Amino acid sequence: MSTYLTEETTQVTDAAVSTRLSSLDTLESEAIHIIREVVAEFEKPALLFSGGKDSVVMLHLATKAFWPGKVPFPVLHVDTGHNFPEVIDFRDRTVERLGLKLVVGSVQEFIDRGELAERADGTRNPLQTVPLLDAIQQNKFDAVFGGGRRDEDKARAKERILSLRDEFGQWDPRNQRPELWNLYNGRHTVGQHVRAFPISNWTELDIWRYIERENIELPGLYYAHEREVFARDGMWRAVGEVSQPLPHEDVITKTVRYRTVGDMSCTGAVESDAYTVADVVVEVAASTLTERGATRADDRISEAAMEDRKKDGYF
Amino acid sequence: MSTISEISTGSLTEGLPTTLFRFATAGSVDDGKSTLVGRLLHDSKAILADTLDAVARTSADRGFGGEKGGIDLALLTDGLRAEREQGITIDVAYRYFATDRRSFILADCPGHVQYTKNTVTGASTADAVVVLIDARKGVLEQTRRHLSVLQLLRVAHVIVAVNKIDLVDFSESVFREIEADVQQVGRELGLGSDGITDLLVVPVSALDGDNVVDRSQRTPWYTGPALLEVLETLPAADELESHLESFRFPVQLVIRPQGALAPDAVAAGLDVEAYRDYRAYAGQITEGSVKVGDKVSVLTPGQDPRTTTVVGIDFAGASLEEAAAPQSVAIRLAEEFDVARGDTIAAAGTVREASADLYASLCWLSPKPLREGQKVLVKHGTRTVQALVRNVGGKLDLASFKQEPASTLELNDIGNAQLRLAAPLPLENYLHHRRTGAFLVIDPLDGNTLAAGLVKDHPGDHEDERYSI
């Protein structure tokens, strides 16, 4: 059996027993434990994968959890139709590299069929809920992994790692199961499903330090690059097919990067000269704005924006 | 004393990586818990500018401050819309901050409603719990209840923060009196003198920041560390002596890819032939440590333990010589036993016989009461079995620490019960095994969690008196 001690063995992750695990190793082990629990206890899990950094980290953790086997579940992407082209390209390459099945829920198709209406402000992030629930139902997914973190938002700060959703995908914050020790209760009845958040306890800085340590590839727009932008709502918006400046909004070229990657119509860039992951780690550690506050118009709508969307079945 | 501002560059690339420390807060109504949590987050610079701006605007709107001005720190932990509308806290909230020594996970447990449920939940994963006392009120019944729950749950470190010390003019005598009362309660409970838990008392003003992050000049009679210093230096549960116990590893699943090897691993040069018959048991080490070559027993319910040797400890392409709790790994054994989810791998000869009779303390967390004769599910490690509640053996009066007769348990009650399991489980006394001595009681009808269970020794076995509630 010792033939498994093979050459491709790369960096040995902190095996030292005499010293404590680093916080990243502890978080990694916790996340892998949760991913394995869900795979063991549910019939048909899927992983929400947008090409955003949190979902990329989730997928990386899943590959580690089942090594040398394949990741034993499909990935699900809710495509707003307003995605950055380089993110879609990254998504497709990743799925190919890991040999995964990709399920796409399309906001555009729902709009074309008249089952969803375009919003006045043009943003499509809130429209993702309907295609998401439809994909969950059509594919009979009983558990859906998400990359949600509790440090993102005060509604998420109160959500369980395994979060029970009813037939309508709704989250009921007043009726959550207590989560004790490392014993996760994923029991659900027909029609209910569970959202699983294995990286609940990670912060934005943890994510970036982990990306750096594990050398994880991300879509290029997370790093500083030159882009044509215009100012709107106190953010830099990219010029693109679905994101056009109004006559009074001047287009200029800036060196920017994205801290979150969402719908092109509501995600803003920040001015940055962080060209490498190490630069980003330093930038995030020194940042004075939360990532959602800095770059997401959809979370600025109201103080309870995330809470409202979660109750309606959002991620 | 270090703050997050120092984390920015140096400590990330130089020196030791930070370690994780989990703690919870518990308090009564109006003892300033939200302000203390806000103060810790604010003074450790975990609050970013946009959040602070929003809080400052709301503080001004609500006319907060008066002569002191500034912001209402309690708003930093203000949660859901329903909570803001009703002025209450619904649920345990998790907060994050870091110093250059440690990353902290704070479980912020509301005190006034369902305090037992929330405290049990927060304390179950905590290395330490901070209990707040209002210096003007001293030890209340609620304080006794909190300390009682923490003792039962074997929280390693209990820190009592005597808050609002500014409102008693930083009086040493007031503090000493409360400190003596706390120690007295601790002695009654065995808390802090049992070799498992310790008990510390710190005078603080959450509103002004005295002894929260930095030591205060206004309490010269207090020579101990500030609260954050305590949290930065206490050993976490997994580095305590008591943790260096025998190896325990509940099997989560079997990794047996057969033909379905990960394409990225193959592309990176994985030897496909060598891995064709790969078989390993995946799980998280709950206790102790394991080395390649160790003798282990595989515990399968209903079967005699089978002894074999660990031949490999794998983690995502890395082969480890040894691993310890709380690492997630995959373990290979010398013999091709039939091992499945729900089995436990343990250091050979260290586990007593599995038992179908379960004696336990139950913290009842559901509005549906427990009744004798009820059928429930018991989730222990990675196994869930059916169980019958044979009898309820009384409940604990948390204020007097006395046991009183009871034939039912209701929400927030803590009591004794005896259950008969449909299959034997490798149960261990929670007193010494915080993971393998813990279980959930689940409602088979709707799947909800009914209770947190703590395994006790069978009557007749040697039993620690401190634990017999």
- Give pLDDT, residue A314: 67
- Rounded to 10 deg, the angle between the A53-66 and A23-41 helix axes is 70
Residue B20 φ then ψ, to 5°: -95, 140
Question: Above 80 in pLDDT, residue A288?
Answer: no
Name A165's Cβ contacts closer than 8 Å, sequence gap at least 6.
A171, A192, A193, A194, A195, A313
Name B220's Cβ contacts closer than 8 Å, sequence gap at least 6.
none
- Tell me the C-alpha distance between B57 and B41, whole Å: 18
Instruction: Suggest the residue from A30, A61, A67 to mutate for an interface test with chain B (most B CBs closer than 10 A).
Output: A67
Residue of chain A with shortest Cα separation from B453: A180
Task: Using an 8 Å CB-CB cutoff, list chain A residues near B365.
Answer: 178
Average pLDDT (B271-286) is 94
- Give pLDDT, residue B14: 44
Please check whether residue B155 is in contact with residue B119, taking contact to mean a CB–CB distance below 8 angstroms: no
Task: Using an 8 Å CB-CB cutoff, list chain B residues near A209.
Answer: 12
Reported as type and span, the H/E element at residue A45 is strand A45-48
Question: Above 50 in pLDDT, residue B124?
Answer: yes
- CA distances for B267 relative to A64, A98, A145, B274, angstroms: 15, 10, 26, 15
- Give pLDDT, residue B192: 73
Kindly give the residue spans of alpha helices, DSSP state H, lying in A188-276: 204-214
Question: Above 80 in pLDDT, residue B447?
Answer: yes
Please check whether residue B246 is in contact with residue B350, taking contact to mean a CB–CB distance below 8 angstroms: yes
Q: Do A68 and B278 touch (CB under 8 A)?
A: yes
Relative to beta strand B157-163, strand B128-134 is parallel
- Give pLDDT, residue A310: 66
Of the candidates A23, A32, A303, which has its C-beta nearest B20's C-beta?
A23
- Tell me the C-alpha distance between A29 and B307, whole Å: 27
Dump pLDDT digits (tens) for B370-420: 999 999 999 999 999 999 999 998 998 877 788 899 999 999 899 999 999
Please check whether residue A241 is in contact with residue A217, taking contact to mean a CB–CB distance below 8 angstroms: no
Q: What ipTM goes with this model?
A: 0.91
Question: Above 70 in pLDDT, residue B460?
Answer: no
Please check whether residue B308 is in contact with residue B346, taking contact to mean a CB–CB distance below 8 angstroms: no
Q: Do B124 and A181 touch (CB under 8 A)?
A: yes
- Tell me the shortest Cα–Cα distance from A117 to chain B, in angstroms: 27
- Which band of pLDDT confidence, cut at 50, 70 and 90, is reported for residue A5? very low
- B234 shares contact with chain A (CB less than 8 Å): no
Question: Per mean pLDDT, which range of A22-26, A136-140, B233-237 is the poorest?
Answer: B233-237
Please check whether residue B251 is in contact with residue A36, taking contact to mean a CB–CB distance below 8 angstroms: no
- Give pLDDT, residue A308: 67
Question: Per mean pLDDT, which range of A166-170, B13-17, B82-86, B213-217 is the poorest?
Answer: B13-17
- Give pLDDT, residue A307: 67
Question: Above 80 in pLDDT, residue A154?
Answer: no
Please check whether residue B119 is in contact with residue B143, taking contact to mean a CB–CB distance below 8 angstroms: no
Q: Do A69 and B262 touch (CB under 8 A)?
A: yes
Question: Above 80 in pLDDT, residue B440?
Answer: yes
- B460 shares contact with chain A (CB less than 8 Å): no
Average pLDDT (B177-192) is 91
Q: Do A178 and B262 touch (CB under 8 A)?
A: no
Of the candidates B9, B238, B365, which has its C-beta nearest A20's C-beta?
B238
- B98 shares contact with chain A (CB less than 8 Å): yes
Q: Is A54 left (phi over 0), alpha (psi -120 to 50) or beta?
A: alpha
Q: Do A15 and B320 touch (CB under 8 A)?
A: yes
Question: Above 80 in pLDDT, residue B62?
Answer: no
Instruction: Suggest the residue from B117, B328, B329, B450 to mutate for an interface test with chain A (most A CBs closer than 10 A).
Output: B328
Dump pLDDT digits (tens) for A16-68: 334 678 999 999 999 999 999 999 999 999 999 999 999 999 999 999 999 99
CA angle A262, A63, A153 (to 5 degrees): 35
Question: Per mean pLDDT, which range of A67-71, A292-296, B23-27, B446-450 is the poorest?
Answer: A292-296
- Give pLDDT, residue B4: 37
Please check whether residue B395 is in contact with residue B414, taking contact to mean a CB–CB distance below 8 angstroms: yes
Question: Above 70 in pLDDT, residue B1?
Answer: no
Most confident of A188-202, A225-239, B52-66, B188-202: A188-202
Question: Above 60 in pLDDT, residue A216?
Answer: yes
Q: Do A36 and B327 touch (CB under 8 A)?
A: no
Of the candidates A4, A40, A181, which has its C-beta nearest B278's C-beta?
A4
Of the candidates B95, B253, B256, which has its C-beta nearest A157's C-beta?
B95
Q: Do B94 and A201 touch (CB under 8 A)?
A: yes
Average pLDDT, chain B: 86
Q: Do A36 and B253 touch (CB under 8 A)?
A: yes
- Give pLDDT, residue B241: 53
Count of other CB atoms within 10 angstroms of residue B297: 20
Of the candidates A12, A71, A307, which has its C-beta nearest B81's C-beta?
A307
Instruction: Suggest the residue from A154, A200, A202 to mutate for an interface test with chain B (most B CBs closer than 10 A).
Output: A154
Q: Do B80 and A154 touch (CB under 8 A)?
A: yes
Of the candidates B9, B320, B442, which has its C-beta nearest A187's C-beta?
B442
- Tell me the C-alpha distance between A110 and A128, whole Å: 10
Of the candidates A24, A183, A290, which has its C-beta nearest B48's C-beta?
A290
Of the candidates A178, A180, A304, which has its C-beta nearest B81's C-beta?
A304
Q: Do A158 and B365 touch (CB under 8 A)?
A: no
Dump pLDDT digits (tens) for B294-352: 999 999 988 889 999 999 999 999 999 999 999 999 999 998 888 999 999 999 988 87
Residue A49 φ then ψ, to 5°: -135, 115
Q: Do A289 and B54 touch (CB under 8 A)?
A: no
- Tell me the C-alpha distance between B252 and B234, whole Å: 31
Helix%, strand%, coil% for chain A, nearest 5: 35, 15, 50
- Which band of pLDDT confidence, cut at 50, 70 and 90, is reported for residue B468? very low
- B337 shares contact with chain A (CB less than 8 Å): no
- Give pLDDT, residue A237: 87
Name A3's Cβ contacts closer than 8 Å, sequence gap at least 6.
B274
Residue whose C-alpha is closest to residue B108's, from B20, B23, B25: B25
- Give pLDDT, residue B349: 85
Please check whether residue A152 is in contact with residue A292, taking contact to mean a CB–CB distance below 8 angstroms: yes
Q: Is B63 exposed, middle or buried (0-12, 13-18, 19+ CB in 10 A)?
A: exposed
Dump pLDDT digits (tens) for A218-260: 999 999 999 999 988 778 888 887 778 888 889 999 999 988 8
- Give pLDDT, residue B9: 37
- Give pLDDT, residue A244: 84
- Tell me the C-alpha distance between B146 and B150, whole Å: 6
Dump pLDDT digits (tens) for A106-129: 888 888 888 888 887 777 878 888
Amino acid, single-letter form, for residue A126: P
Torsion of CA B306, B309, B312, B315, to 10 degrees: 50
Question: Above 80 in pLDDT, residue B10?
Answer: no
Average pLDDT (B281-291) is 95
Residue whose C-alpha is closest to residue B286's, from B104, B438, B454: B438
Residue whose C-alpha is closest to residue B95's, from A25, A288, A150: A150
- Give pLDDT, residue B382: 94
Q: Do B442 and A294 touch (CB under 8 A)?
A: no
Question: Above 70 in pLDDT, residue B235?
Answer: yes
Count of other CB atoms within 10 angstroms of residue A253: 10
- Which band of pLDDT confidence, cut at 50, 70 and 90, is reported for residue A163? very high
Task: Using an 8 Å CB-CB cutoff, list chain A residues near B239.
Answer: 20
Question: Per mean pLDDT, which range of A88-102, B356-370, B421-435 is the poorest?
Answer: B421-435
For chain B, what percent of residues have pLDDT higher than 70?
A: 85
- CA distances for A14 relative to B104, B328, B382, angstroms: 20, 12, 25
Most confident of A78-82, B169-173, B287-291: B169-173
Please check whether residue A306 is in contact with residue A151, taking contact to mean a CB–CB distance below 8 angstroms: no
- Tell me the C-alpha distance between A295 and A257, whole Å: 10
3-state SS of chain B is CCCHHHHCCHHHHCCCCCEEEEEEEECCCCCCHHHHHHHHHHHCCCCCHHHHHHHHHHHHHCCCCCCCCCCCHHHHHCCCHHHHHHCCCCCCEEEEEECCCEEEEEEECCCCCCHHHHHHHHHHCCCEEEEEEECCCCCCHHHHHHHHHHHHCCCCEEEEEEECHHHHCCCHHHHHHHHHHHHHHHHHHCCCCCCCCEEEEEECECCCCECCCECCCCCCCCCCCCHHHHHHHCCCHHHCHHHCCCCEEECCEEECCCCCECHHHHHCCCCCCCCCCCCEEEEECCECEEECCCEEEEECCCCCCEEEEEEEEEECCEEECEEECCCEEEEEECCCCCCCCCCEEEECCCCCCCEEEEEEEEEECCCCCEECCCEEEEEECCEEEEEEEEEEEEEEECCCCEEECCCEECCCCEEEEEEEEEEEECCCCCCCCCCCCEEEEECCCCCCEEEEEEEECCECECCCHHHCC
